[in-house]
Amino acid sequence: MIYADNAATTKMSDAAIHTMVSLMEETWGNPSSLYAHGQRAKEVLEQARADVASVIGASPREILFTSGGSEADNQAIRSAAALGLAKGKKHIISSAFEHHAVLHTLSALEKEGFAVTLLDVHEDGLVRPEEFRDAIREDTCLVTIMYANNEIGTIQPIREIGAICREKNVLFHVDAVQAVGHIPVNVENDSIDLLSASAHKFHGPKGVGFLYARKGIRLKNLIEGGAQEAGRRAGTENVPGIAAMAAALTESAAHMAEHADRLIKMRTRLIAGLREIPHSALNGDETHRLPGNVNFCFEGIEGESLLLLLDDKGICASSGSACTSGSLDPSHVLLAIGRIHDVAHGSLRLSLGEDVTEEEVDTMIASVKEVVAYLRSFSPVWRDLMAGRKDFIL
């Protein structure tokens, strides 16, 4: 099997598995208990907090453990909205190609009376900092934007947007789920106030993540109950999962540059190979993108059929989050960068893992070429395009 869907989830690292198992076997006490067995779990928890904090340039008290990226996004946005409401500020700025954890939270807030501006994403898959500056109003309480897009991998100008938010005194939340552990992220350098991350996107376990909240920002609880996590999230902490997340992140951070170099070489090879397919196009800027992300559109085919046939060949890929979830709508991300419906339907995301080999990349190129040609051979849309009854877009 060739696993090329690392943007959906990653395989747990050996270090993460080992940490998790040993804690489940040995240090399984409740970190809120006062006897030594509980306090040992508490120490593990606090060490994990310090480790995670140091990777993103935060202090441990600014890290709150959550059940993953979605919860962190929800809590960050709801907290900023509550702080805004208290000052009569009810305007939020974001972009059209955010993850649904952000977009759906924003729609819920709109129903509660907030005004939301979703800025356009340009054809290159990037937002423009000046447009954020222009969109900020007197009543803007939050700017929320993703560090790197989960479908097309484009890396946003976070530092520039952060500087604008700081200057305008507006809270800045970054969904960094795709970035943390893969590219350098530092909350100080980027002037980030709130940041979401998820363990299973960097070789940690599923169901664990963290929210960074700059010192002094009052969080709104999503889950009420006990006083865990300094009263900001109730519930006995998932100590094995949290420690495994810290182990995975520490390891990813230690090898980040070397992994990125290698992945960029593989990505370049894969892009060059897929470009040989006629009437195809890379989605998103070629250089401002995550080291392992490749996303293409092929005219005249359906992404879903492409995926199923690649699966038969032992290749795990994705066609964009909306399609895979069984919805008939093409990806909101591809529509946001201006791909028309027909073209957006023929998309393929290959997100490479750090251990991908050149041979695997070549296998992927050959398989995609073969499957695209096969699907086109009986596609009515392709026949119309070839007969000149329809114009090619790509």
Residues at the contact surface with ligand PLP, assessed by CB under 6 A: 68-70, 73, 99, 101, 146, 150, 175, 177-178, 198, 200-201, 209
The span from the CA of 11 to the CA of 158, in Å, is 28
Q: Looking at beta carbons, which residue is closest to ligand PLP?
A: 69
The two beta strands, 194-198 and 171-175, are parallel
On whether the CB atoms of residues 320 and 349 are closer than 8 A, the answer is yes
Q: From residue 142, how far is each of 70, 118, 133, 316 by CA, in Å?
A: 18, 12, 12, 37
Beta strand residue intervals within the chain, DSSP E? 2-3, 63-66, 91-95, 115-119, 140-146, 171-175, 194-198, 209-213, 280-282, 293-298, 315-316, 347-351
Closer to ligand PLP by Cβ: residue 162 or 209 = 209
Q: How far is the CB of 146 from ligand PLP (least distance, A)?
A: 5
Residues across the chain: 394
Give least dist CB 94 to ligand PLP, A: 13
Residue closer to ligand PLP, measured from CB, 156 or 367: 156
> Which of 9/250 has CB closer to ligand PLP?
9
By C-alpha distance, which of 127, 160, 124, 162 is closest to 143?
162
Distance (Å, rounded) from C-alpha 150 to C-alpha 271? 18
Closer of 327 and 357 to ligand PLP (Cβ): 327
- In the block, residue with structure tokens 């340009």: 122
Shortest distance (Å) from residue 103 CB to ligand PLP: 10
Query: CB of residue 219 vs ligand PLP: minimum separation in angstroms?
Result: 18
For residue 211, the SS3 value is: strand
Query: For ligand PLP, which is the closer residue by CB, 91 or 99?
Result: 99
Query: Which is closer to ligand PLP, CB of 252 or CB of 379?
Result: 252
CB of 102 to ligand PLP, least distance (A): 7
- Catalytic residue numbers read 323
| Contact present, 188 and 159 (Cβ < 8 Å) | no
Quick one: 156 or 191, whose CB is closer to ligand PLP?
A: 156
Question: Least separation, in Å, of the C-beta of 93 and ligand PLP?
Answer: 17
Hunting for tokens 């990037």 — which residue is that?
Answer: 126
> What is the rounded distance in angstroms from the CA atom of residue 298 to the CA atom of residue 325?
20
Helix (H, G, I), strand (E, B) or coil at 284: coil
* In the complex, least distance from residue 137 CB atom to ligand PLP, rounded to whole angstroms: 26
CA 39 to chain centre: 34
- DSSP per-residue string spanning 165-194: HHHHT-EEEEE-TTTTTTS---TTTTT-SE
Cα 334–Cα 338–Cα 339 angle in degrees, nearest 5: 55
